[in-house]
Amino acid sequence: MWADMAPLDEQELQQVDGQAGITLSGYMEFEQGTRFSYQNEDADYRDNTLYWLVMNEVTGGIGFTDMKLDLVDGIGPNGDKTAMQITLPQELTFEQLQTEGFYLGDSREVSQMADRRFVFAVEIDGKLQAPAQTKINIFPVN
């Protein structure tokens, strides 16, 4: 991933309104052999094994534009919480994104999992659109 910042001249700067939050756009491309592993050490499994969720052999790319992050007031059941608000991008673009599969097992690498379970695989190419202004609010609770 990369980011680019460019200076604004005086005329451009006068056109800018003060706005809160951050707007993100990005593109991620995965090379052959990319793997993601996740383990929830706080999970309370019945057999006391610390399981890994592994997304194996990821290739392709995914892009998005205009995802927004902001802090907002007046959220929650009583309207008295401040929340992190995420406005999802209206469109995700997938370029031949695929995985060998998602696996659940006792190791962070699929080849070393003694008891691995295949969960699902992904193969997607094209655009995924969401309703306009889909927002997620994350706020503290007691």
Backbone angles phi, psi at 11, to 5 degrees: -65, -45
| pLDDT higher than 70, residue 16 | no
Provide the whole-model pTM: 0.67
Determine the Cα–Cα distance for residues 54 and 103; give it in Å rounded to an integer. 5
Percent of the chain with pLDDT strictly greater than 70: 89
Provide mean pLDDT across the span 7-35: 81
Provide mean pLDDT across the span 50-73: 93
Determine the Cα–Cα distance for residues 32 and 101; give it in Å rounded to an integer. 14
